[in-house]
Structure 1
Amino acid sequence: MPVFSGIWVALVTPFNDGAVDIPALRRLARHLLDAGVAGLVACGTTGEAAALSKDEQLAVLDALLDEVPGDRLVMGLAGNNLAEVLAFQREVQRRAIAGLLVPAPYYIRPSQEGLLSWFGAIADAASVPVILYDIPYRTGVKLELATLRTLAKHPNVVAIKDCGGNPDTTQALIADGELDVLTGEDAQIFTTLCMGGRGAIAASAHIRPQEFVRLVDCGAAGELDAARRIFQGLLPLIQLMFVEPNPAPVKSLLALQGLIRDELRPPMQRSSAALVHRLRETFA
């Protein structure tokens, strides 16, 4: 199984007049890989996967595989109908990719036993590594530590995108050493590195990706003073990327850089004019 570490960018999905902008997607992927990121995560929350049809998600995946080595590409796999999720999983796994990023089923709020059953079914069907995605403020349900430890025993479950908000759980998982712990909270990258985590799946790393890479490299090397300085320099950017719903600020700043159009799908909305002005004045 691969080790997931470093900066993985939670990739936006560019649009052009309502359609997925494949040329911009490829251009953005090349830009990020050239900056040295470990890999890309497609069709996650930041990729507006909930607003994409399954055919569109596969088109995104195939376009990225034209630009990105499969071992540097993770695909999001989300839903709340297990049969449909497993069917889509089979289709995704026809491609050679690094892994699947899988959240709890949203809206349903199952028990911990229900979560074990859900993730267990997906892990049993996996021909690629599974990354657990613990993000209770979006799914409505928390993966408890005991549940995570049970899932970590499955040979196909190898990592976690940690947005659970409990530092005790984060530290326990790192100490266990069974899962590669990647933070999904960009403002917690330095803290996670200090705890011994392996890196991040980060939306804000679209911007200044080289600095995010240096941050993780310094943390992994134990150069914490240098890592702290880099992180403190990045923190204003990270904070600004989430003052309005993700991925609107990221898309606005990428558009100011000429990489994509500033376009989202409803119900997501573009950044406010005031935020675009701040972004232009501060970072563009």
Structure 2
Amino acid sequence: MQTTRHLNQDFSGLWIPLITPFDHGNVDHASLKHLVAHYRSSGIAGLVVCGSTGEAAALSDEEQLAVLETVMKEAPGLPVVMGLSGYHLGKTAARIKVLGTLGLAAILLPAPSYIRPAQAGLIEWFTQLADASAVPVILYDIPYRTGVKIEQGTLLTLAGHPRICAIKDCGGDAAKTKALIADGRLQVLCGEDAQIFSTLVQGGRGAIAAAAHLHTRRFVQILQLIQAGELAQANALWAPMQPLIEGLFSEPNPGPLKALLARQGLIRDELRSPMTRASAALAERLHRLDELIV
């Protein structure tokens, strides 16, 4: 096992968990290229591909690798993080070894879904997969998708691993978030868009934010202002965004987001079953909220 932490790997700033566009059931690589070109010079820290917003669960392994290849070719030099989920340790370890050869900035790794292991099992899961990885690992704490909480003590134990460097925090536990920030070994990236301001004010390092597909430069500016201590200016930009952010998650993500991106002409409004398009009423409400942000 590698014994030195990736001290030079910085995950601070704004990361976009990129949606996967479809065209009549197939991955739409032309639109994917256009999306990457649209975001690559917006001031973001990088892109996350094949996360939950990217509908990775609906993509085959081959499709996931093809999506990654398209993104990396379209944005050379821009850091890319790859989502990797599973519940079979051996298969997931084999996959992480393949991904480690592809020039990624990191792997985004959640707890195994469906199994609901004990905390000792989670330590084994993340430790063995981090041991197998050639690149840094970002923990993904999202109990409402995996069915299991990663407790604070478990996270602090995992923070000692040389390749576990950051966490996408969707745990919904403000005290745990505060404790991780205070500990300082894991870079805390907010994964709940509505909590970005509060997390960053407390010392969080950045965000992986689906809503940042929209008004991306504004999101970047908000993070920069918070980090510079200009909280009043940051809040003036942040406050008008909150109704739109709330609306984007009032139906399952990324349906509402794709509806707005389609209205902007960036993609087709298409998802893979069992994910569904946003309702017409919500799509119209989001359009009105989006237009209010200037």
TM > 0.5: yes
Which position in structure 2 is the counterpart of 1:256? 263
- Residue of structure 2 aligned with 1:26, choices 15, 27, 33: 33
In structure 2, the CA distance between the partners of 1:103 and 1:202, relative to structure 1 (3 Å rule), is same
**Residue type of the partner of 1:175?**
A
Contact 1:241 1:249 in 2 (8 A): yes
Contact 1:70 1:97 in 2 (8 A): no
Contact 1:80 1:108 in 2 (8 A): yes
Q: How does 1:72-151 map to 2 (within 5 A)?
A: 72-151=79-158
Which position in structure 2 is the counterpart of 1:39? 46
Say whether residues 1:7 and 2:8 are aligned partners. no
Cα distance in 1 for partners of 2:179, 2:129 equals 24
Cα distance in 2 for partners of 1:281, 1:113 equals 48
Say whether residues 1:56 and 2:63 are aligned partners. yes
Which position in structure 2 is the counterpart of 1:234? 241
Cα distance in 1 for partners of 2:173, 2:280 equals 35
Q: Normalising to structure 1: TM-score of the pair? A: 0.98
Which position in structure 1 is the counterpart of 2:179? 172
RMSD: 1.0
Cα distance in 1 for partners of 2:102, 2:153 equals 32
Cα distance in 2 for partners of 1:221, 1:61 equals 33
Which position in structure 2 is the counterpart of 1:162? 169
Shift of 1:206: 0.2
Shift of 1:281: 3.0
Cα distance in 1 for partners of 2:175, 2:60 equals 37
**Gap runs ≥5 in structure 1:** none
SS at match of 1:161: strand
SS at match of 2:74: coil
**Residue type of the partner of 2:243?**
P
Contact 1:5 1:38 in 2 (8 A): yes
Shift of 1:10: 1.1
Contact 2:244 2:286 in 1 (8 A): no
Superposed structure 1 runs of 4+ greater than 3 Å apart: none
Cα distance in 1 for partners of 2:22, 2:181 equals 38
In structure 2, the CA distance between the partners of 1:150 and 1:69, relative to structure 1 (3 Å rule), is farther
Cα distance in 2 for partners of 1:243, 1:70 equals 35
- Residue of structure 2 aligned with 1:191, choices 194, 198, 209: 198
User: What fraction of aligned residue pairs are identical, expressed as a percent?
Assistant: 56
SS at match of 2:208: strand
Shift of 1:89: 1.2
**Residue type of the partner of 2:146?**
T
Shift of 1:237: 1.5
**Residue type of the partner of 1:204?**
A
Contact 1:130 1:159 in 2 (8 A): yes
Cα distance in 2 for partners of 1:124, 1:281 equals 48
Say whether residues 1:277 and 2:273 are aligned partners. no
Shift of 1:71: 5.2
SS at match of 1:66: helix
Q: Normalising to structure 2: TM-score of the pair? A: 0.95
Contact 1:71 1:98 in 2 (8 A): no
SS at match of 1:75: strand
Cα distance in 2 for partners of 1:257, 1:34 equals 18
Cα distance in 1 for partners of 2:250, 2:48 equals 22
SS at match of 1:283: helix
Q: Deviations over 1:7-45 (max 9, x none)?
A: 101111000000001111111111112221111100000
